[in-house]
Amino acid sequence: MASTAEIRNGLCIEYNNDIWTVVEFQHVKPGKGNAFVRTKLKSLTHGRVVDNTFPAGHKIDIVRVERRNFQFLYKDEMGYHFMNNETFEQLSFEERLIDAPEFLMEGAECTVLFHSEKEMPLQLEMPTNIVVVVTYTEPGLKGDTATNTLKPATISTGAEIRVPLFVNAGEKIRVDTRTGEYLERVKE
């Protein structure tokens, strides 16, 4: 058992018969009344996000998790299939356990959170950014770099994102998998 003083981003806890990860937290000490910890928790089994407030000093159950590297192989009607890079063991995941499945590319390196005691996969984390090729977008014009105007583009994973006007089809770009936003063009 631990107390709310140990809460930090990324901590996994057991709460209300479910396993949650702390997305955000804030220790609040009002001028009047008792201190408390305001948190935003994400369920690792259902994927939903809830706001919760713990009184200061409240006991919480910390869940030990391990992070293991897996490689994305393919997707079929059974789910998304991954292979452990060290043991070559294969696992399949439901779409709800994956942060951003629309950005998965064959061969992509991902991190899987495992419950240490139960050897149960909890969540799959994508890399924070990926390099992809723009497969389709309207042609850009020279000099369209002055404004922050965006246009739709389809990338090699099949996802549609918004890119600046100067990006053309066939160019490599870096995309943030957490937000789906264009980051930069990649020069070779």
Please indicate, yes or no, whether residues 137 and 120 belong to a single structural domain of this protein. Answer: no
Phi, psi of 86 (to 5 degrees): -100, -45
Identify which of 52, 61, 118, 109 has the alpha carbon closest to the alpha carbon of residue 84. Answer: 109
Work out how many domains the chain is built from and give that number. Answer: 3
The domain boundary, picked from 20, 45, 62, lies at 62
The domain boundary, picked from 125, 140, 169, lies at 125
**Contacts of the segment 76-83: beta carbons below 8 A, 24+ positions apart:** 80/104, 80/124, 82/110, 82/112, 82/124
How many CB atoms neighbour CB 110 within 10 A? 19
Whole-model pTM: value is 0.71
pLDDT 10s digit of each residue in the chain, 188 long? 788 888 888 888 998 888 898 999 999 888 888 899 999 998 887 778 899 999 988 999 998 888 889 999 998 888 889 999 888 889 888 887 787 888 888 888 988 888 888 888 888 888 888 899 999 988 876 666 667 788 899 998 888 999 888 888 899 999 998 888 999 988 87
Please indicate, yes or no, whether residues 87 and 116 belong to a single structural domain of this protein. Answer: yes
Using CA atoms, how far residue 51 sits from 38, 48, 56, 91, 97, in Å, is 8, 10, 16, 31, 20
Please indicate, yes or no, whether residues 48 and 36 belong to a single structural domain of this protein. Answer: yes
Phi, psi of 95 (to 5 degrees): -60, -30
- The residue segments making up the domain with residue 89 are 65-125
